[in-house]
Amino acid sequence: MKKLTDPSKLHGLGWKHSVELEEGITKVYNWYSENKPT
Protein backbone atom coordinates (compact mmCIF):
# COMPACT_ATOMS: atom_id res chain seq x y z
CA MET A 1 0.00 0.00 0.00
CA LYS A 2 1.32 3.43 -0.95
CA LYS A 3 0.49 6.49 1.07
CA LEU A 4 0.86 9.85 -0.66
CA THR A 5 0.54 13.27 0.87
CA ASP A 6 -2.28 15.44 -0.48
CA PRO A 7 -1.46 19.12 0.07
CA SER A 8 -4.82 20.38 -1.26
CA LYS A 9 -6.12 21.28 2.22
CA LEU A 10 -2.95 23.25 2.95
CA HIS A 11 -3.28 25.06 -0.38
CA GLY A 12 -6.91 25.78 0.47
CA LEU A 13 -5.70 27.55 3.61
CA GLY A 14 -3.34 29.69 1.51
CA TRP A 15 -0.12 27.78 2.22
CA LYS A 16 2.45 27.67 -0.57
CA HIS A 17 5.82 25.92 -0.53
CA SER A 18 8.84 28.21 -0.60
CA VAL A 19 11.51 25.67 -1.61
CA GLU A 20 11.34 23.26 -4.54
CA LEU A 21 11.77 19.57 -3.68
CA GLU A 22 15.16 19.13 -5.37
CA GLU A 23 16.55 22.26 -3.70
CA GLY A 24 15.25 21.13 -0.31
CA ILE A 25 16.82 17.69 -0.64
CA THR A 26 20.13 19.29 -1.63
CA LYS A 27 20.02 21.65 1.36
CA VAL A 28 19.24 18.84 3.80
CA TYR A 29 22.00 16.64 2.34
CA ASN A 30 24.56 19.46 2.53
CA TRP A 31 23.53 20.36 6.09
CA TYR A 32 23.75 16.74 7.21
CA SER A 33 27.15 16.29 5.52
CA GLU A 34 28.49 19.28 7.47
CA ASN A 35 26.79 18.41 10.79
CA LYS A 36 26.68 14.62 10.96
CA PRO A 37 27.59 13.04 14.28
CA THR A 38 31.10 11.66 14.52
Full-model pTM: 0.58
pLDDT at 38 > cutoff 80: no
Separation between Cα atoms, residue 15 and residue 38, nearest integer Å: 37
Question: For residue range 5-34, what is the model confidence (pLDDT) as tens digits?
Answer: 888 999 999 999 999 999 999 999 999 999
The H helix count followed by the E strand count for the chain is 2, 0
Provide the CA 4 distance to its chain's centre, in angstroms: 14
